[in-house]
Chain A
């Protein structure tokens, strides 16, 4: 798995600290899996925000926080979960695609086509 790019900067205008991550994956499907896995949990504190975005095979994450300390904790925690997700994909991948007759009828019409 490739390395990823960090951009950390203190924005004097908004009084917030920001951190942008850009994480490339071998395929768009794997990036999508990581995106779906990691976007679900909300940040426990209101002072921290986290936005995930999927661009082809790259997962982009933007963190903002009112304090550098909070930002560091949030990014560190995310890295732990990201690492676990990647390990899971390495050991139990590659992604499967299967069609089961009973499941087709139960699939939600809102399901995003992959």
Chain B
């Protein structure tokens, strides 16, 4: 019964989690929050992660009630993500692996989300919608790979939402996406926005430019409220995501949808996906913010699967990479 510790710090959240045989023993996390109107930059984010790593690691071990000798393997996010935050987290992971004399495994961030989503929801072979500030992909498993059937061709959907929050000067606490979601609930008027689905792929940069322009002009003219814009943006973006997911389900004859990634927290997205799935006779699996949002336990869980199937990362190869495609990983733990 291996006990795995996972280190995640690819964006503005640093988290360390421990998983043992499908049970999350601890999963503390800290988020770097910038002032309204500002995004997080790599250098400052890395500084935040370095400042909190030791404290979170102690908390993680204490909450799990474990000692170093109880840990069988150290896992960390190899990528994708921001370089400096990734390296800051990996430095701690490499050091710990050597101090405690255990193997180390580099985990793909996207696969961390998928494996935690599968564990928590119990979904077996779902079509996966992975949506966050850094990624937007529709994924299905086939022949030892998580295949990317569709994806954004420019910015991630979460990036689009976060940047719009900056335009409106919304708070980044607890997250800009959450604050857009709350505003959208009070929206009443739908403003038509570009709908840019391209077969299985999507594009969000045009929508962001369009609504930025609308925000400046129409808000000044009093023709709509910020709540209306948040509502309209969500309806448009999420309808696009539902469409490409449904197209992938149709191609793969899938009866399960799994939504993972930070934007997967959004209840409106979950509702729209549920509506589509019901009409298809399928089910939607989604996790709450404990696991939707980047966390250490998801890296530990994917790492647990990799460890059990015999994968290890030699210490000399424990570098980080900003680009690490989901389909690059050999999924040795599935049939």
Whether B161 is near chain A, meaning CB under 8 Å from some CB there, is: no
Instruction: Identify which of residues 281-299 in chain B touch chain A, using a CB-to-CB cut-off of 8 Å.
Output: none
With beta carbons under 8 angstroms apart, the residue of B46, B50, B98 that contacts A37 is B98
Q: How far is the CA of A89 from the CA of B99 in the complex (A)?
A: 7
Count, chain B residues at interface, CB 8 A: 33
User: Is the pair B88, A33 in contact by a Cβ cutoff of 8 Å?
Assistant: no
Whether A91 is near chain B, meaning CB under 8 Å from some CB there, is: yes
User: Is the pair A41, B99 in contact by a Cβ cutoff of 8 Å?
Assistant: no
Once A87-B54, A88-B54, A96-B68 are accepted as A-B contacts, the answer to whether A38 and B91 lie under 8 Å apart by CB is yes
Give the residues in chain A near B318, CB-CB below 8 Å: 40
Give the residues in chain B near A87, CB-CB below 8 Å: 54
Q: How far is the CA of A86 from the CA of B121 in the complex (A)?
A: 39
Please classify the interface of chain A as helix (H, G, I), strand (E, B), loop, or mixed, using the class held by over half of its residues: helix
With beta carbons under 8 angstroms apart, the residue of A37, A80, A108 that contacts B94 is A37
Please classify the interface of chain B as helix (H, G, I), strand (E, B), loop, or mixed, using the class held by over half of its residues: helix
* The stretch of B33-41, B131-139, B265-273, B308-316 that contacts the partner chain: B308-316
Chain B 41-79, CB-CB to A under 8 Å as 1, else 0, gives 000001100100110011000000000110000000000
User: Is the pair A40, B101 in contact by a Cβ cutoff of 8 Å?
Assistant: no
Whether B95 is near chain A, meaning CB under 8 Å from some CB there, is: yes
Whether A42 is near chain B, meaning CB under 8 Å from some CB there, is: yes
Once A80-B50, A84-B92, A96-B68 are accepted as A-B contacts, the answer to whether A91 and B315 lie under 8 Å apart by CB is no
Cβ-closest chain B residue relative to A87 = B54
Whether B187 is near chain A, meaning CB under 8 Å from some CB there, is: no
Whether B260 is near chain A, meaning CB under 8 Å from some CB there, is: no
Size class of the A contact interface (CB-based, 8 Å): 20 to 34
Q: How far is the CB of B53 from chain A (nearest CB, A)?
A: 7
Chain A CB count within 10 A is highest, among B57, B92, B312, B317, for B92
Cβ-closest chain B residue relative to A73 = B43
Give the residues in chain B near A40, CB-CB below 8 Å: 90, 94, 315-319
Q: How far is the CA of A84 from the CA of B314 in the complex (A)?
A: 21
Once A33-B98, A33-B99 are accepted as A-B contacts, the answer to whether A88 and B315 lie under 8 Å apart by CB is no
Cβ-closest chain A residue relative to B88 = A84
Q: How far is the CA of A93 from the CA of B100 in the complex (A)?
A: 8
Q: How far is the CB of A28 from chain B (nearest CB, A)?
A: 13
Whether B103 is near chain A, meaning CB under 8 Å from some CB there, is: yes
Whether B165 is near chain A, meaning CB under 8 Å from some CB there, is: no
Give 14 CB contacts A-B under 8 Å. Answer: A32-B98, A33-B98, A37-B95, A41-B87, A41-B320, A42-B319, A80-B47, A85-B91, A88-B57, A88-B91, A91-B54, A94-B99, A96-B99, A106-B310
Sorted nearest first, the 3 A-B pairs with minimum C-beta distance are A37-B94, A88-B95, A33-B98
